[in-house]
């Protein structure tokens, strides 16, 4: 398959501090690649290189001539002094109201078209940003922390939507995420970044990689704790190699995850 | 007989017209301090103009453009916070301007007119310059409006979507310099920013789109110019401050009439 973007040995430093070194990244149509890594790992820098906002100091970036990027930024702060409704926000990407409405409808918030942007909830805001990215008719979506500020049910719905969009548009997707658990279910390939690519592969491969465990294992592992109810029912499911990395009382999500993956005991 | 009054009104309305959209952008992009810096720098422009016997407007534009250029350079360096750089440029140029004006041999300058405006002595030529410059700035804003809004909302997103962010930002600073230069005669060095931001802030309460806010701000600024001139005529108060007082009154009235409700 022809790559949309291919990075070979990309490196970047700011003021003599190396932020990225020797990064290889290959984005192809129809595949979701998720970028994870601790703060300061260079995720933002790598995203900016993919977007063409930054040039790498070393290495090369190959872009397909047909490349059209839809970008969903990490956070949108609209100053309250700027009166801006959802339709007007989308018109920056496409002036046609009908097209904008269709995009909003696709992400499930067509009813919000006349709402002020500053009044949207976290999930609505992310969907609006996604709609704007779609308006570019992209073959590559770059989503920087797409579920930020969204509650856990909303996160699952959003990841599901992203998966559907990938199938419909057959576009490549590059996602940045902190939320290791949910994103693992929604991705084809994980790239674990800590200035260099520590490890990459399918979620199953990466989650047992020693470098990944060293970075995330002790603290956040594959998962964060979102729910507030008791769940003794699933506690028996957690066992095997990675169970020691997780809080034993919080096995609910892990069990769901395992079920979704077709019972992978180690995920 | 009342020619001078009409000239003053024309000059004021020209400035108010362009102050609407420009003031809105200043509010959205939090450039009020930058506007102040340019305004203070224009005093230095007057001094330079007297020194080299240039026309005032040309000298003011030159100095404002120079300060805008300096700021663009400083911002790229990232050595100091922007407000620190602005503080240095703003007060440095104000002080230098005041000193230079007293040092120029034979120059008898009316400091009050410079600081608070002197719209009643405006000449036909000056009114023409005001309207020409206002027209140029409005046309430029019109052309750049989508890009200006896009970078106000999110710079990187705008850049990915093909907006030349650095160029647009630089042009906005230069346009603001032009607006400051033509506003100087109307409200004076110290009050220029007020004429930009108060009508825009007032208009915010009624606007649902950025365009509504810009147009309403122009109308409010024009009303403030009329009210200020009228007040000055009947109460014998200085015109520039009267215009700003009128604008402030509108703002307070709108705020009081509206009460505390979230903005649309």
One pLDDT digit (tens) per residue for chain A, 267 residues: 678 899 888 888 888 888 888 889 999 999 999 998 888 788 889 999 999 999 999 988 988 888 899 999 988 888 889 999 999 999 988 888 899 999 999 999 999 999 999 888 888 999 999 999 999 889 999 999 888 888 888 888 888 899 999 999 999 999 998 777 777 777 888 888 888 888 888 877 777 787 877 777 644 444 443 444 434 334 433 333 333 333 333 333 333 444 444 433 333
Residue numbers of the domain that contains B238: 3-258
- Start-to-end Cα distance in chain A: 29
Tell me if B52 sits within 8 A of B59, measured CB to CB: yes
Contacts of A136 in chain B (CB under 8 A): 161
pLDDT at A221: 46
Q: What is the CATH number of the domain that holds B120?
A: 1.10.3470.10
Backbone angles phi, psi at B253, to 5 degrees: -60, -45
How many other CB atoms are found less than 10 A from the CB of residue A47? 23
Contact at CB, B30 and A84, closer than 8 angstroms: no
Q: Return the pLDDT at A232.
A: 39
- The answer to the question of residue B264 being in a domain is no
| Contact at CB, B210 and A88, closer than 8 angstroms | yes
Residues of B with CB below 8 A from A116's CB? 208, 263-264
Specify the number of domains making up chain B. 1
Work out how many CB contacts closer than 8 A connect A with B: 63
Q: Which pLDDT does position B58 carry in this prediction?
A: 80
Reported as half-sphere exposure (CB side, CA atoms, 13 A), residue B230 has a value of 7
DSSP character for B189?
G
- The radius of gyration computed from the CA coordinates of chain B, to the nearest angstrom, equals 18
E-strand spans in chain A?
5-14, 17-27, 32-36, 58-63, 69-72, 140-144, 172-176, 189-194, 196-201
Does residue B107 fall inside a structural domain? yes
Does any domain span residue B117? Answer: yes
Helix (H, G, I), strand (E, B) or coil at A149: coil
Beta carbons of A83 and B212 less than 8 Å apart: yes
Q: Does B196 touch chain A (CB under 8 A)?
A: no
Alpha helices in B188-264 (DSSP H): 192-204, 210-235, 239-258
Whole-angstrom distance, CA of residue A211 vs CA of residue B63:
58
Average pLDDT score over residue span B242-263: 86
Closest chain A residue to B162, measured at CA: A93
Delineate the domains of chain A, giving CATH numbers in brackets: 5-68+138-216 (3.40.50.300), 78-136 (1.20.1580.10)
* Separation of alpha carbons A169 and A147, rounded Å: 20
Residue B24: band (very low, low, confident or very high) from pLDDT cuts 50, 70, 90: very high
Q: Which helix (H) or strand (E) holds A46?
A: helix A43-51
B16 found inside a domain = yes
Distance, CA of B55 to CA of B64 (rounded, Å): 14
Q: Does B91 touch chain A (CB under 8 A)?
A: no
Q: What is the pLDDT of residue A217?
A: 64
Give a yes or no: residue B171 inside a domain.
Answer: yes
Question: What pLDDT shows up at residue A223?
Answer: 45
Q: Does A68 touch chain B (CB under 8 A)?
A: no
Nearest CA among B88, B59, B87, B85 for reference residue B72: B85
CB contact under 8 A, A73 and B154: yes
Confidence of residue B199 (pLDDT cuts 50, 70, 90): very high
B21 lies in a domain? yes
Residue B65: pLDDT band with limits 50, 70, 90: confident
A53 touches chain B (CB under 8 A): yes
Q: Find chain A residues with C-beta within 8 A of B27's C-beta.
A: 81
Q: Residue A248 has what pLDDT?
A: 36
**pLDDT for B88-134, tens place per residue?**
999 999 999 889 888 887 666 778 888 888 888 888 988 998 999 99
- Residue B175: the pLDDT is 92
Nearest to B209 among A51, A78, A85 (CB): A85
pLDDT of residue B2: 77
Looking at the predicted structure, is the pLDDT value of residue B185 above 50?
A: yes
State how far the Cα of B88 lies from the Cα of B33, in Å rounded to an integer: 12
Interface test with A, best of B161, B162, B207 (most A CBs within 10 A): B161
Do residue B156 and residue A51 have CB atoms under 8 angstroms apart? Answer: yes
Give the one of A51, A53, A92 whose C-beta lies nearest to B153's C-beta.
A92
Q: What integer is the mean pLDDT of B177-197?
A: 89
If pLDDT is split at 50, 70 and 90, which confidence band does B1 have? low
Say yes or no: B27 contacts chain A, CB-CB below 8 A.
yes
- Which single residue is written with the structure tokens 């993919």? A50
Residue A225: how many other CB atoms lie within 10 Å: 14
Classify residue B14: in a domain, yes or no.
yes
Instruction: Determine the residue among B20, B77, B156 to mutate to test chain A binding: the one whose Cβ has the most chain A Cβ atoms within 10 Å.
Output: B156
Q: What percent of chain B has pLDDT over 70?
A: 96
């Amino acid at each position: 398959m022809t790559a949309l973007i291919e990075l070979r040995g990309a490196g970047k430093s700011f003021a003599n501090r190396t932020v990225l070194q020797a990064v290889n990244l290959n984005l192809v149509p129809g595949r979701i690649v998720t970028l994870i890594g601790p703060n300061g790992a260079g995720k933002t820098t790598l995203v900016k290189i993919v977007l063409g906002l930054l040039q790498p100091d070393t290495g090369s970036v190959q872009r397909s001539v047909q490349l059209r990027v839809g970008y969903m930024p990490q956070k949108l702060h609209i100053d309250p002094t700027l009166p801006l409704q959802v339709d007007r926000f989308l018109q920056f990407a496409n002036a046609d109201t009908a097209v904008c409405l269709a995009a909003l409808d696709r992400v499930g918030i067509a009813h919000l078209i006349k709402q002020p942007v500053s009044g949207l909830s976290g999930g609505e805001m992310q969907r609006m940003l996604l709609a704007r990215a779609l308006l570019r008719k992209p073959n590559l979506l770059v989503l920087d922390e797409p579920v930020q500020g969204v509650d856990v049910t909303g996160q699952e719905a959003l990841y599901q939507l992203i998966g559907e969009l990938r199938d419909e548009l057959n576009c490549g997707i590059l996602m940045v995420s902190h939320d290791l658990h949910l994103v693992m279910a929604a991705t084809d390939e994980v790239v674990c970044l800590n200035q260099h690519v520590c490890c990459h592969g399918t979620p199953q491969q990466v989650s047992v990689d020693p470098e990944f465990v060293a970075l995330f294992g002790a603290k956040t592992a594959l998962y964060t704790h979102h729910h507030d109810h008791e769940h003794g029912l699933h506690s028996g499911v957690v066992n095997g190699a990675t169970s020691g990395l997780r809080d034993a009382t919080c096995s609910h999500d892990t069990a769901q995850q395992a079920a979704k993956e077709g019972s992978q005991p180690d995920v | 007989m009342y020619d001078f009054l009409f000239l003053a009104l024309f000059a004021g309305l020209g400035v108010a017209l362009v102050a609407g959209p420009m003031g809105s952008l200043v509010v959205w992009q939090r450039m009020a301090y930058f506007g102040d810096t340019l305004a203070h720098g224009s005093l230095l422009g007057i001094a330079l103009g007297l020194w080299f016997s240039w026309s005032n407007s040309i000298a003011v534009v030159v100095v404002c453009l120079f300060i805008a250029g300096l700021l663009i350079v400083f911002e790229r360096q990232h050595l100091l916070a922007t407000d620190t750089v602005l503080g240095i440029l703003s007060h440095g140029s104000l002080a230098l301007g005041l000193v230079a004006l007293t040092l120029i041999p034979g120059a008898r300058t009316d400091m009050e007119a410079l600081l608070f405006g002197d719209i009643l002595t405006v000449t036909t030529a000056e009114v023409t310059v005001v309207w020409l410059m206002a027209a140029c700035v409005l046309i430029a804003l019109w052309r750049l409006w989508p890009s200006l809004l896009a970078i106000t909302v999110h710079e990187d997103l705008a850049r990915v979507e093909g907006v030349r962010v650095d160029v647009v930002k630089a042009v906005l600073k230069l346009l603001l310099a032009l607006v400051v230069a033509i506003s100087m005669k109307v409200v004076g060095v110290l009050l220029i920013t007020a004429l930009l931001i108060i009508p825009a802030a007032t208009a915010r309460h009624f606007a649902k789109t950025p365009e509504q806010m810009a147009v309403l701000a122009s109308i409010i600024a024009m009303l403030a110019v009329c009210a200020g001139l009228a007040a000055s005529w009947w109460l014998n108060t200085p015109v520039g401050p009267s215009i700003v007082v009128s604008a402030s009154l509108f703002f307070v009235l709108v705020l009081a009439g509206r009460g505390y409700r979230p903005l649309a």
